[in-house]
Amino acid sequence: MTAHRLVLATRNQGKVTELHAILGEAGVDAGLLGAADFPDVPDVPETGVTFAENALLKAHALARATGLPAVADDSGLCVDVLGGAPGIFSARWAGRHGDDAANLALLLAQLSDVGPEHRAAHFACAAALALPDGTERVAEGRLEGTLRYEPAGTGGFGYDPVLQPLGEDRTCAELTPGEKNAISHRGKAFRALAPAVRELLKG
């Protein structure tokens, strides 16, 4: 039987690869495409005020544009001492969307004099599924940890080099892809979403 096709609302190949592994492990039989496979589809402004709102905006827009079921996520780093910031602004914390190095440098500078006992933070993710008929589902996941003073590791992306998960002595960027998927906020959110994906694709 031919796998159903599912579009992921991102042009970030790292996310496509990560989601492919997560959904595969969760038993979802789907041919996964990225937004880059649809170059004529414009990016969707993230105008929501929560991760869930932004994920749904992107999933619905891509489902409408492609006529295929679409999944999207919005995620970010929430730092306790910053009142939950950068939060939904994580990807553009330094002012330019997607500049990981600048975002990381700014965050570390802002927290340079914050002691280890106040460096609690978590990654949060909302994963959304939208069908062309408007049906939607959302699931969320978190990864609790603390922030290092210096980046470590070359894996992952975004703030992975500075978040050390609770119970770990390595940052997210030092974990193998399999180790990261097993505990990550995105892994938890998409695993929680996977039953709805299976059910709706089957239907």
Query: Which tens digits make up the pLDDT trace of 149-162?
Result: 999 999 888 999 99
Which of these is catalytic: 29, 74, 133, 169?
Answer: 74
User: Which residues span the domain enclosing 12?
Assistant: 4-202
Query: Which tens digits make up the pLDDT trace of 132-185?
Result: 999 999 999 999 999 999 999 998 889 999 999 999 999 999 999 889 888 999
Is 169 among the residues known to form the active site? no
Pairing assessment for the beta strands 136-147 and 163-165 based on DSSP bridges: antiparallel
Report the 10 Å Cβ neighbour count for 118. 12
Give the helix ranges, DSSP H, for 80-146. Answer: 100-110
pLDDT tier at 78, thresholds 50, 70, 90: very high
- Cβ-contact 145, 163 below 8 angstroms: yes
pLDDT tier at 1, thresholds 50, 70, 90: very low
Query: Which tens digits make up the pLDDT trace of 94-112?
Result: 998 889 999 999 999 999 9
Question: 33-47, 71-85, 93-107: lowest mean pLDDT where?
Answer: 33-47
Domains in the chain, number: 1
* Sequence-distant contacts of 148-156: CB under 8 A, at least 24 apart: 149/108, 149/112, 150/108, 151/104, 151/108, 155/180, 156/14, 156/180
Can you give the CATH number for the domain in which 65 is found?
Answer: 3.90.950.10
